[in-house]
Structure 1
Amino acid sequence: MVEEKEIIEKLLNGELKIRQIDDLVGDTEKSVDIRRKFIENVSNTKLEHLSNYSLSMEEAIKRNIENPIGTIQIPLGIAGPLEVHGEYADGDYYVPLATTEGALVASINRGFSVIKAAGGTSARIIEDKMTRAPVIKTESVSEAIKIKEWIKLHFNDLKEAAESTTRHGKLIKIDPIIIVGKYVYPRFVYTTGDSMGMNMVTIATDTALKILVEKTSAHVIALSGNVCVDKKAAAINLIEGRGKSIVAEISIPREIVEKKLKTTPEAIVEVNVSKNFIGSAIAGSMSFNAQYANMIGAIFLATGQDEAHIVEGSLGITFAEVVNGDLYFAVTLPDVPLATFGGGTKIETARECLEIMGVYGAGKVGKFAEIVAGTVLAGELSLIGALAAGHLARAHKDLGRG
């Protein structure tokens, strides 16, 4: 057995790469320790807190991380109860939120209180899909048109090939099929069950493309051609949707708005129009909301979702109007990739956070999505209410969040 000191010396003089430690040592936890001590040496930093964790690094290294040296810790708060009445979620839920932004959990909790007083929020999933869009090169625009027509005519063949790779994924359409010069961008659209499904649809699309290449003159330049659109803000996702497309709505009596938010329905509507609609439009934003990313980010970090999808999850539109003197308020999130099993949800802390809401495992992603929608509505309502009442700066000051 090679000694720890000898391994670190070889790392320092370049004889060994950090990725080779695992094979050399044969013990995951010891490899993590050696790798961390090497980093302590080269950075002249004592990594005391990174070395304290309870999750199984042996399991994490199989699918979730490479070259681990420890874990980070983010404060985890709890807000609730959130009263949701949806197709899958129906009742009161406590929501774990991982964040370092002071006042965020308090703000969301205030929103939950308003929702509870008004009888709960209604939440629904309006679309459910995951996409992968390769870029294909042809010899000419005429050939590109032929490829497009071939894809349309042979959809069932492509569907059969794609679905041969998965028990859960279903190819529901290939649309749009965009031509730019001699390039073709077909957007493969799937349902993926309780899995977020990005790996699933990647493998499925790759298999389907083998038939396309075999039967036509198509040349696949890249399996992802950015029309998917994965982990980037894009108008096509705002319009077509991706992941779970979810809506939460609520009608709040005027007296509750005045008592709990210290403002009026009319003031909230004006803030929403002037800030979220006009302000976003003049800035060229694709997100017509105040802070979806705050709630999406805090939930994603707590529950082991792919944090890069926070970019997509922040897309959406907040709508508010006065109806018979009361406030109607709704949030629409067209692009929220979510999972309740697989990937990062298997990490022990993520699993526990999902279990707090009763959404860990198969058959629970619909319930999770509706809770997420309700949480976003709560945070959005609270912030816009604070802005309308002129309380935002005061709240941060009172909570010591300077």
Structure 2
Amino acid sequence: MTDAETLAERVKAGDLRLYELEAHADADTAAAARRQLLAEEVGADLETVGDYSFPTDRADPNIENMIGVAQIPMGVAGPLPVDGEAAGGSFYLPLATTEGALVASVNRGADAIRAAGGANATVLQRGMTRAPVFETSGVREAAAVADWIRASRDRLAAAAEATTSHGELREATPYVVGDSVFVRFVYDTKDAMGMNMATIATREAAEVIEAETPVSLVAVSGNLCTDKKPAGINAIEGRGRSVAADAVVPADVIEDRFGTSPDAIAEVNTRKNLIGSAKAASLGFNAHAANVVGAAFLALGQDVAQVVEGAHAITSVEVRDAGLYVSVTLPALAVGTVGGGTGLPTQSEALELLGLAGGGDPPGTNGDALAAVLAAGALAGELSLLGALAGRHLASAHAEHGR
């Protein structure tokens, strides 16, 4: 096999391109050649980037032009007791982050929830979306095509489901805007996050629409999906998994763990998460749910860009006789336990830590359980930050943890 130095020289000479190296050497040598070339051209020291513990070809489905690995510190919060149809038991939640105090904060919230007897969590629905856009001659034709789509759901489902052994088409809803017709396809993708599955299935369904109606496909994604962008349709209709978690925390636990009262936390939630978010025209009414979702996504091999949808969370707090009721609802949590980055070595180990690696039996149960645990983790993070704000010790916590 060609060595890394020779490959680097061939790229410099213009004989090879960076993306062609795996055709001339094994994956480890190709990555080493790229590091050597970059070190020579820009003077970067990539020794740590190139020091990782798994064979480079394990990342073939996940990366192009690989030079190494970005290593992010990973911590664990818990144990976090969760009671729900999908997930039941006590979980240690792995979180990968560079933000000091985040894991400590979630861990403190988990401690309070544990003292309260645990969190309830339930998956409300699941459905990954893809929404192509078609061109028509005008609004009358667009309306007629929308009618045809509504009447042809079974035919579209047959075409879409022929592309996958697990995915099921649940909805195909047309939307007319002038001479454009959008169709929001919704799929049950079982244990996969399912974005690629939905895209491939939708392309087949779109071909049926093109063949049977006068429309022309403009793009397989018309942004009504909506993928990796803030969108009211996701906040309202949901995307991926819609999941909620709640707990009732006794007043003495609130006072002991957070040095404040249930009334003070409720007021912070009302003025910050509800009124403040409304004034900002936010699509999320929460303290920092994306913090926990993002750290969990990095640790567990999820598509990190979809933390955007994960931020569409609503946190509600209410003082009750039994203590402080707190809940978080995440309408668009795009998660899975198979596919994507879940097969990478460290991410697979993190899923094993939760007992949720691979497909569930029956299919979909592991993905649901992961969503439930992440909702409970977000609940812990919300409770802890609201407690820190009410107790006026947020700044001191960040100072203690070096941020």
2:135 aligned to 111, 134, 137, which one? 137
Aligned length: 398
Q: Which amino acid aligns with 2:24?
A: L
**Which residue number corresponds to residue 362 of structure 1?**
359
Q: Which amino acid aligns with 2:35?
A: R
**Which residue number corresponds to residue 168 of structure 1?**
166
- Separation of aligned partners in 2, 1:251 and 1:3: 62
8 Å contact kept, 2:248–2:322: no
**Which residue number corresponds to residue 84 of structure 2?**
86
**Which residue number corresponds to residue 304 of structure 1?**
301
- Separation of aligned partners in 1, 2:259 and 2:240: 36
- Separation of aligned partners in 2, 1:31 and 1:400: 38
**Which residue number corresponds to residue 291 of structure 1?**
288
**Which residue number corresponds to residue 363 of structure 2?**
none
- Separation of aligned partners in 2, 1:303 and 1:325: 35
Q: Give the alignment of 1:249-398 within 5 angstroms.
A: 249-324=246-321, 326-363=323-360, 364-398=366-400
Q: Give the alignment of 1:33-44 within 5 angstroms.
A: 33-44=32-43
**Which residue number corresponds to residue 95 of structure 1?**
93
Residue 3 and residue 300 in structure 1: after superposition, are their counterparts in 2 closer, same or farther (change >3 A)?
closer
- Separation of aligned partners in 2, 1:6 and 1:81: 51
Once the two structures are overlaid, the 10-residue window that deviates more, 208-217 or 218-227, is 208-217
- Separation of aligned partners in 1, 2:317 and 2:5: 64
What's the secondary structure of 2:49's corresponding residue?
Answer: coil
**Which residue number corresponds to residue 15 of structure 2?**
15
Per the TM alignment, residue 3 of structure 1 is displaced from its structure 2 partner at its CA by: 5.3
Residue 92 and residue 196 in structure 1: after superposition, are their counterparts in 2 closer, same or farther (change >3 A)?
same
**Which residue number corresponds to residue 189 of structure 1?**
186
8 Å contact kept, 2:4–2:32: no
- Separation of aligned partners in 2, 1:208 and 1:143: 19
What's the secondary structure of 1:400's corresponding residue?
Answer: coil
What's the secondary structure of 1:245's corresponding residue?
Answer: strand
Q: Which amino acid aligns with 2:27?
A: T
1:208 aligned to 190, 205, 210, which one? 205
- Separation of aligned partners in 2, 1:55 and 1:299: 21
Per the TM alignment, residue 19 of structure 1 is displaced from its structure 2 partner at its CA by: 0.8
- Separation of aligned partners in 2, 1:29 and 1:41: 19
- Separation of aligned partners in 2, 1:296 and 1:235: 19
Q: Which amino acid aligns with 1:22?
A: E
Q: Which amino acid aligns with 1:250?
A: A
Which runs of no fewer than 5 residues in structure 1 stay unpaired?
A: none
Per the TM alignment, residue 159 of structure 1 is displaced from its structure 2 partner at its CA by: 0.8
1:326-379 deviation line (CA, Å, top 9, x unaligned): 211000000001111111000010000000010101111121111101100001
Which runs of no fewer than 5 residues in structure 2 stay unpaired?
A: 361-365
Per the TM alignment, residue 325 of structure 1 is displaced from its structure 2 partner at its CA by: 6.0
1:78-121 deviation line (CA, Å, top 9, x unaligned): 11100111112111111111001001110000001000000000
1:122 aligned to 101, 120, 123, which one? 120
- Separation of aligned partners in 2, 1:236 and 1:37: 47
Residue 43 and residue 173 in structure 1: after superposition, are their counterparts in 2 closer, same or farther (change >3 A)?
same
- Separation of aligned partners in 2, 1:143 and 1:70: 52
- Separation of aligned partners in 2, 1:37 and 1:93: 42
Once the two structures are overlaid, the 10-residue window that deviates more, 327-336 or 86-95, is 86-95
8 Å contact kept, 1:111–1:381: yes
Per the TM alignment, residue 399 of structure 1 is displaced from its structure 2 partner at its CA by: 2.4
> Percent identity over the alignment?
47
TM-score of the superposed pair, with normalisation by structure 2: 0.97
- Separation of aligned partners in 2, 1:358 and 1:156: 37
Per the TM alignment, residue 398 of structure 1 is displaced from its structure 2 partner at its CA by: 2.2
**Which residue number corresponds to residue 156 of structure 1?**
154
What's the secondary structure of 1:204's corresponding residue?
Answer: helix
What's the secondary structure of 1:51's corresponding residue?
Answer: coil
2:44 pairs with 1:59: no
1:216-267 deviation line (CA, Å, top 9, x unaligned): 1010000000000011110000000001101000111111111111111111
- Separation of aligned partners in 2, 1:136 and 1:221: 5
- Separation of aligned partners in 2, 1:258 and 1:45: 51
8 Å contact kept, 2:241–2:335: yes
What's the secondary structure of 2:24's corresponding residue?
Answer: helix
- Separation of aligned partners in 2, 1:345 and 1:396: 31
What is the aligned-residue RMSD (CA, Å)? 1.1
Once the two structures are overlaid, the 10-residue window that deviates more, 278-287 or 1-10, is 1-10
- Separation of aligned partners in 1, 2:63 and 2:132: 26
Q: Which amino acid aligns with 1:377?
A: L
Per the TM alignment, residue 4 of structure 1 is displaced from its structure 2 partner at its CA by: 4.0
1:205-226 deviation line (CA, Å, top 9, x unaligned): 1101111111110100000000
8 Å contact kept, 1:55–1:349: no
Per the TM alignment, residue 10 of structure 1 is displaced from its structure 2 partner at its CA by: 2.9
Residue 325 and residue 180 in structure 1: after superposition, are their counterparts in 2 closer, same or farther (change >3 A)?
same
8 Å contact kept, 1:265–1:325: no
